[in-house]
Amino acid sequence: MPPGPVGMGTGVNTDAGTDESVNGGGDAGRVMPEVPTFGVEEEYFLVEPGSGRISDAAGRVLARARSEDGFADTLTGEFTRYQIEGRTPPCTSLAELRAELGAVRRAAARAARAEGLRLCASGTPVLGRAATDAIGDHPRYRAGLAQYRSMMRDFAVCAQHVHVHCPDPARAVLVGNHLRPLLPALVALSANSPYHEGRDTGYASWRTVIRQRFPCLGPPPYAESLAEWDRRAEAVTATEAMLDPAMPFWDVRPNPRLPTVEIRCPDVSADLETAVRLAALARAMVTAADREVTRGDPGPRLGAEELRAACWQAARDGVTGPAGESALRLVTRVREPLEAAGDLEPVESHVRRLVAGGSGADAQREAAREAGLKGVVRRLVTQSETEPETEAAQDQGSRG
C-alpha cells in the first residue's frame, strides 16, 4: 500500500486478486448477502515491561512470530517499528471473529514475550519511546515522511479497521454516504487513547486528533458515484495532501484491494470483547446502509465541516458527550441486521455497558488514578493478552 498515515501496512491479507483475505468470497451478483462476512485488522504497540515505553522491535518480534507460529499471513509490520499489525480471515459470526482475533493476539503476545516485550493495545503510546526515529523500513513509509515532514514525527497510533464484504466498489461508495453521520458514535465507543507520551491530553481519543491534522484523513466526502469519489481523491492528490488517489485513507472507503467496505475510525481496543462487539456493530451498520441504498435512499448530505466537528467532539468527550447518546440510538437503528446475525443481545448489552460505565479511555484514567501511568500500561498489557472467557462463554451458550 502506498504511504499514508494510518493503516499504512499491507492491509488484511491484501495480495492483489486474492478473495481469501479479510472478506473473501466471489463477486457473484455484486450484492451484499443478508449477513455478510467481516474481519478485523488491529495495530498493537510493543512495550518494555519495566519502563512501559514503546520499543522499536517490530522486526525481531515479527521474525519470531513467523518462525515459531507460522503467522506470516496474519502478523505484519506497520508505519513505525514500535508496532505490529494483526489480521483475521473473513468470519461469519461474532464467535468466529472472537476465536480468530484471540488467536492473532495470542500469537503476537507470545512473540513479543519471547523478545522480552509485551503487547499493548492502546490508540496512542501512554509513555515515551525508546528511539526518536523508528519509521518502518519501507520505501513507501519513507515517501510518506518526505511528503508530510514533521507531521509524521509523533505519528505512532494504533487503530482497529473493520472490513465488511461488499463486492461492488460503486455500491461501497453509496454505503459510505449513509455511514458518514454514524462515525462519531464509533469514535466515542472505541475511544482508547487519553494519554500521549506521558501526559493526559484531556481527550478520550487523542489518536483521532492526531489523524485529523492530516488533510487526507478523517470522514470521507459525500459522493454520488464512484466516479465522483475518484475525482475528489484525484483533486486532493493534486494538492500533494494525498499520495495516491487510488489509496485514500478516509475513515470509510471501498478497500482498494479487497471486496469490502472498510471502516477505519476506531481506536484499537485493549479488551477483546469490545473489539469484536464493535466490529459486529460496524457490520450491522454496513448492512443497514446497504439496504437503504437498495431502496434508492442517497443518504444524508451532512456537511464536511459539521461532520468533522462532531468527530472532534466525540474524540474529546467520548461516551460522556453527545456521541454516547448517539451510540444508543445507533443500536436501535441497526437492530434488524443485528438480529439477523444473532448479534443483537451481545452488541446492545455491550454498548449500553460502555455508555454507562465508560470506554477504554475511562478505564485508562481509572488505572492512572490507582497506579500511575505505568499502571495504565500494565492494565492495557493484561487486557491485550488475556481473553475474557466469561462473556465469550455466555455468547456461545446463547447461540447454542
Selecting from 3.40.50.300, 3.50.50.60, 2.60.120.10, 3.30.590.20, what CATH number does the domain 28-174+190-392 have? 3.30.590.20
Q: What is the dihedral of CA 233, 234, 238, 244, to 10 degrees?
A: 70
- Alpha-carbon separation of residue 178 from 10, 247, 302 (angstroms): 27, 21, 10
Give the integer Cα–Cα distance in Å for 381 and 396: 26
Give the integer Cα–Cα distance in Å for 342 and 324: 23
More confidently predicted of 251 and 12: 251
More confidently predicted of 321 and 1: 321
Contacts 24+ apart (CB under 8 A), 128-135: 128/53, 128/54, 128/197, 128/198, 129/53, 129/54, 129/56, 129/82, 129/156, 129/197, 130/48, 130/53, 130/54, 130/55, 130/56, 131/56, 131/81, 134/56, 134/80, 134/81, 134/82, 135/79, 135/80, 135/81
pLDDT of res. 141 = 66
List the beta bridge partners of residue 87: 41
Q: Say how many Å lie between the first and final Cα of the chain, rounded.
A: 41
Highest mean pLDDT among 28-32, 241-245, 246-250: 246-250
112 neighbors 118 (Cβ within 8 angstroms) = yes
Cβ neighbours around 296 below 10 Å, total: 6
**Ranges of each domain in the chain:** 28-174+190-392
State yes or no: pLDDT of 284 exceeds 80. Answer: yes
What residues contact 257, with CB distance under 8 A and at least 6 apart? 1, 11, 14, 15, 16, 21
Q: What is the dihedral of CA 159, 165, 169, 175, to 10 degrees?
A: -80
Backbone angles phi, psi at 192, to 5 degrees: -150, 40
- Alpha-carbon separation of residue 160 from 21, 239, 264, 372, 395 (angstroms): 16, 28, 7, 26, 22
Indicate the range of 114-128, 149-163, 176-190, 380-394 predicted with least confidence: 380-394
pLDDT of res. 137 = 62
More confidently predicted of 27 and 381: 381
pTM (2 decimals)? Answer: 0.89
Indicate the range of 121-125, 193-197, 238-242, 276-280 predicted with least confidence: 238-242
pLDDT of res. 344 = 98
- Residue 22's pLDDT band, with cuts at 50, 70 and 90, is very low
Give the integer Cα–Cα distance in Å for 397 and 400: 5
Q: What percent of the chain has pLDDT over 90?
A: 74
What residues contact 323, with CB distance under 8 A and at least 6 apart? 184, 185, 187, 188, 189, 310, 313, 314, 317
* Tens digits of residue pLDDT in 155-166: 899 999 999 999
Q: Residue type for 188, please?
A: A
More confidently predicted of 356 and 153: 356
More confidently predicted of 119 and 247: 119
pLDDT of res. 246 = 86
Cβ neighbours around 315 below 10 Å, total: 30
Give the integer Cα–Cα distance in Å for 47 and 38: 29
pLDDT of res. 388 = 66
